[in-house]
Amino acid sequence: MSAEKMRKEFEAWAAKHKHNLLRDGVVVDYACRYTDLAWPAWQASRAAIEVELPEPYGAFGCMGHGMGEADTVIDYDGTVEAIESLDLKVKP
């Protein structure tokens, strides 16, 4: 997730919870001590999120005849792309 997007999400959350969003930017990020302490916690919480997907496997047709390697029960690449589009990481 980009730093700008993460800050926007944090500030939306902080505003909803009545945190003071006055920026210092010199010594600390936020002038309010509690907001300034919440910011690195927010960043760490987002960095720790990973989603582990199962390995994709082939689908089978009628009577056990394979449909081919391209036919999988899940679209692995599409699933990874969808998860990453939410700014989440997929475990390698």
41 pLDDT more than 90: yes
pLDDT at residue 39 in the model: 95
Between 11-20, 31-40, 51-60, 72-81, the lowest mean confidence (pLDDT) is in: 51-60
Mean pLDDT of the chain: 82
Is residue 87 a contact partner of residue 50, using CB atoms and an 8 Å limit?
no
Is residue 71 a contact partner of residue 81, using CB atoms and an 8 Å limit?
no
Condensed to tens digits (0 to 9), the pLDDT of residues 65-82 reads: 555 555 667 888 888 888
